[in-house]
Amino acid sequence: MSVSAILIAALVMSVLGLIFGALLGVTGRVFKVPTNEKVEALRACLPGANCGACGFPGCDGYAAAVGEGKAEVGACAVGGPACAAKMAEIMGVTVNESVRMVASVACQGYGDHCKPKGIYEGMTDCVAASMVNSGTKACSYACLGLGTCERACPFDAIHIDPIKQIAVVDEEKCQACKKCVAACPQHVLTMRPAGRKVEVDCHNPEKGIALKEKCDRACIGCEACVKACNFGAIEMENGVPKIDYEKCVGCMACADACPTGAMQADFESRKEAYIDPNKCVGCTLCTKQCKFDAIEGALKQPHKVLGACTGCGLCAEKCPKKAITMRDRRAPRNKLDKVKKAPAAPAAPKAPVAAKTPVNQ
């Protein structure tokens, strides 16, 4: 091979390279997609999990939507308030405080509560199992515990409990991306605000005591919880109670009333009110506040909390002297230990009204 051949080869390749380089440069200019600087800054704030919980196709999609003003900051559940604050700074807006949500498992069909129909030997996947004979358990709404949600979770936040064999959510890790909610063929998973101690752990819409044969923790639709709630926070929806967490104060009276245990509350964390006798001036504001008749005491006398206290904390909020603190319970709640109202008391103010009526006529 002569020197000229080598030179020609080198020349051809260099020229080709140059032409292509120039071509790329020109196309880059001509076909430049105008990227919003804000969008790139916004994208940098986002965690990049591409989970889609915000309702947009991935973090890029959400950043673009916020940049164009089509979406609000703070929809990113994974990034949380820190991320929302950063994004708000870029966009020059203020954040609406959003409540952190977590997934929760609305089923307690484990162990002896809800027995299996038979021995299932198919694929270890809830979708497959749910297609056979409407699920493997006696209740056809039950958590099948084959881990479809566990595999769907990008944050390692939901696991099948090795003993209970049903799904359990790790509230700390849950980022509210709702992938498990979408993946569950039994629709067992729901979203609720994080840190709440009361939840409905059954979603079987059927009614009646016969349900208890399928699962002894089933909601039989008796509405005892609706009646027990003094805050109007529970309504029946599709045959099961639904808690309005904006109204719920966490008093757990509904769980006290539930005959089957479908309404679950973390009684361990239940508090009770304690009135400091040195600070209490006996103004009786708290006795009027208490929806459970759990505070007794006469005017100008130190008040006392009775066993019926649910630990809702209303009195502590209202006490003008800050004499009431919420402390760990010394004893479980006793519904019956409450103020005994004298039946004659309401009669006294009625008397003058009754006397007036004939005069007006």
Binding residues for other proteins, per CB under 8 A?
A: 8-9, 12-13, 16-17, 20, 23-24, 27-28, 31-33, 57, 123-125, 128
What is the C-alpha to C-alpha distance for residues 270 and 55, in angstroms, rounded to an integer? 36
What is the identity of the amino acid at 345? A
Question: In this complex, which beta carbon is closest to other proteins, that of residue 24 or of residue 299?
Answer: 24
> Cβ-count burial of 322 within 10 angstroms (0-12 exposed, 13-18 middle, 19+ buried)?
exposed
Q: What is the largest CA-CA distance in the chain?
A: 132
Question: In this complex, which beta carbon is closest to other proteins, that of residue 35 or of residue 94?
Answer: 35
Minimum CB distance to other proteins, residue 13 (Å): 7
Minimum CB distance to other proteins, residue 43 (Å): 16
Question: In this complex, which beta carbon is closest to other proteins, that of residue 31 or of residue 354?
Answer: 31
Question: In this complex, which beta carbon is closest to other proteins, that of residue 124 or of residue 165?
Answer: 124
What is the C-alpha to C-alpha distance for residues 18 and 31, in angstroms, rounded to an integer? 20
Encoding tokens for residue 25? 């440069």
Minimum CB distance to other proteins, residue 116 (Å): 18
> Cβ-count burial of 331 within 10 angstroms (0-12 exposed, 13-18 middle, 19+ buried)?
exposed
Question: In this complex, which beta carbon is closest to other proteins, that of residue 130 or of residue 260?
Answer: 130
Question: In this complex, which beta carbon is closest to other proteins, that of residue 4 or of residue 361?
Answer: 4
Question: In this complex, which beta carbon is closest to other proteins, that of residue 33 or of residue 342?
Answer: 33
Length of the chain: 361
Print the SS3 string covering 125-184. CHHHHHHCCCCCECCCCCCCCCCHHHHHCCCCCEEECCCCCCEEECCCCCCCCCHHHHHC
Minimum CB distance to other proteins, residue 220 (Å): 35
Question: In this complex, which beta carbon is closest to other proteins, that of residue 20 or of residue 134?
Answer: 20
Minimum CB distance to other proteins, residue 8 (Å): 7
What is the C-alpha to C-alpha distance for residues 80 and 78, in angstroms, rounded to an integer? 5
Minimum CB distance to other proteins, residue 129 (Å): 11
Closest C-alpha to 294, from 326, 268, 321: 326
Question: In this complex, which beta carbon is closest to other proteins, that of residue 62 or of residue 292?
Answer: 62
Minimum CB distance to other proteins, residue 34 (Å): 10
Encoding tokens for residue 2? 């002569």
Neighbours of 122 (CB within 10 A): 11
Torsion from C-alpha of 268, 272, 277, 282, nearest 10 degrees: 180
Question: In this complex, which beta carbon is closest to other proteins, that of residue 143 or of residue 323?
Answer: 143
Minimum CB distance to other proteins, residue 196 (Å): 34
Minimum CB distance to other proteins, residue 28 (Å): 6
Minimum CB distance to other proteins, residue 324 (Å): 56
